[in-house]
Amino acid sequence: MAGPDEQRIFVASQWQLMWWRFRRHKVAVASGGVVIGFYLAVLGADFLAYADPNASEAQRSLMPPQPVYWFDGWRFSPHVYAVKGARDPQTFKRVYRADPGQKISIRFFAGGFEYRFLGLIPMTRHLIGVDGGLDAGKTIFVLGTDVQGRDLWSRLMYSTRISLTIGLFGVTVSLVLGVVLGGLSGFYGGIADTLIQRVIEILRSIPTIPLWMGLAAALPRDWSILQIYFAITIIISLLGWTELARVVRGRFLAMREEDFVVSARLVGCSQMRTIFVHMVPSFMSHIIAATTLALPAMIISETALSFLGLGLRPPAMSWGVLLQQAQNVQTVAISPWLMIPAVPVIIVVMAFNFLGDGLRDAADPYGR
């Protein structure tokens, strides 16, 4: 006889079943947290950044990351040491010396440059900052600075915003294309099916990087940064829909003859109602999983394109742009911290993959 647990399973809705299954995949849950964290950073990029990402200052060019000291004696009082820099006339490197006598306290929710939170609310508060706002004498650079003396942490925050939203936009376009074209292909079959499937095969047979490069190179070079941004999103998504379309088509084919679809049709449901009320919800979970898995690919493609100098260009900021600027000998030799933007790329891509993996398992709660 069924115990109370199994009783629970019998009456649970599909979403509940999925959630229970998903919770068992610990790494996926953790990854989900990471992904949510990243997207919160996207929303609050200006809040998390503590310096104007475009504010340059020669006197702090290529400053290494400053170590943060959390305690002053036994008292919790995060601070960094003031730093003095000068160019060594022998080596031509900029040399920075920390002065332990001069502490700069880090304040939480400190005032800083002006911005509009979520693009709406004017604010000057930032997560961290120093007393009396930021001036050239009192600064913190937790991840160091680039050649122009711009704060890498703040630039990274703004880059995260662009790199992660480009993924979202791209996936949305792919999703719409994939469901519509995949659905048409699977539901109607025949010529539509053949045509769409052949197009997919052709698109998939072309190696992606050269194809992106070709398309990106075809973008008019006199477009503004914003236009390039959208064009690149569209390019990436125009190639990204194929996989999803295949999945959707497969599900449609499988489900077309299922009892509940046949009954719906016999009862006299319209085609639209059959598709959207009966069929789509039953493979919604698959779409979500597929979407999650498509996101990292989008992020990687933007980063790769920008890294190759074909995607976004400065003064736009994205992970790829930051990495492209770190793509030189002197970065490796004297300022390795400029390669830090590779770290979030790795983390977010892995997190998305684990999350997608967990969701896919969960989407089929009865599977083994």
Partner 1 sequence: MTELRRPPRKRSLRSRLTVALAVGALSAVVVVAALAQSAGKSAFIGKLEGPEVVTDPAKLPRNLKEAPQLAALVKAGKLPPVAERIGQDPLVIKPLREIGTYGGTWRGGFTGPADFWNGYRCCSGPDHLLFWDYTGDKVTPNIARGYEMQDGGRTLVIHLRRGMKWSDGRPFTADDFVFWFEDIYRNKDLIPTPSAAMAINGKQGEIQKVDTYTVKFKFPEPYYLLPDVLAGSTPLGGHAQQGMNGMGGYAPAHYLKQFHPKYVGQAELDKKVKDAKFDSWVRQFLFKNDWALNPELPVLTPWKTATPSNTATWTLERNPYSVFVDTEGNQLPYIDRVVLTLAENLEVINLRAIAGEYDFQQRHLDLGKLPVFIENQQRGNYKLHLDPGDYGGDMIIKFNLSYEADPEIAKWMNTTDFRRALSLGIDRDQINETFWLGTGTPSSVVPADSNKYNPGPQYRKLWATLDVKKANEMLDKVGLSKKDGEGYRLRTDGKGRLRIEIMTLGGQFLQFTQIAEMIREQWKRIGIDLTVQEVERSLALKRTAANEQQLGAWNNDGSEHLFTFPLHVFPWEVAAVSTSGPLYARWFHSAGTQGKEPPVRMRELMEKFKKAYGVPEKERIELGKEVWKIAAEEVYIIGVIGMGPASMGVRVVKTNMGNIPSRQYNSPDGKTPTISRPVTFFYKK
- Contact positions vs partner 1 (CB under 8 A): 34, 37-38, 41, 54-59, 61, 64-65, 67, 86-93, 95-98, 143, 147-149, 221-222, 309, 313-315, 327-330, 333-334, 343-344, 347
**Among candidates 337, 319, 340, which has minimal Cα distance to 65?**
337
Q: Least separation, in Å, of the C-beta of 292 and partner 1?
A: 19
Q: Least separation, in Å, of the C-beta of 322 and partner 1?
A: 13
Closer CB to partner 1, 74 or 92, in the complex? 92
57, with CB counted inside 10 A (0-12, 13-18, 19+), is middle
Reading the block at residue 188, the tokens are 């109607």
Reading the block at residue 276, the tokens are 């959207």
Closer CB to partner 1, 57 or 357, in the complex? 57
Q: Least separation, in Å, of the C-beta of 200 and partner 1?
A: 34
Closer CB to partner 1, 86 or 277, in the complex? 86
Task: Give me the phi and psi of 64, to 5 degrees please.
Answer: -65, 160
CB neighbours of residue 272 within 10 Å: 8
Reading the block at residue 176, the tokens are 């719409």
Closer CB to partner 1, 77 or 327, in the complex? 327
DSSP 8-class letter at 258: S
Q: Least separation, in Å, of the C-beta of 268 and partner 1?
A: 53
Q: Least separation, in Å, of the C-beta of 313 and partner 1?
A: 6
Closer CB to partner 1, 147 or 269, in the complex? 147
**Among candidates 144, 112, 136, which has minimal Cα distance to 126?**
112
Helix (H) or strand (E) run with residue 235 in it: helix 225-256
Q: Least separation, in Å, of the C-beta of 340 and partner 1?
A: 8
DSSP 8-class letter at 337: G
Q: Least separation, in Å, of the C-beta of 167 and partner 1?
A: 16
Closer CB to partner 1, 2 or 217, in the complex? 217
Closer CB to partner 1, 5 or 222, in the complex? 222
Task: Give me the phi and psi of 270, to 5 degrees please.
Answer: -70, 165
CB neighbours of residue 102 within 10 Å: 14
d(CA 259, CA 34): 41
Sign of the torsion formed by the C-alpha atoms of 108, 111, 116 and 121 = positive
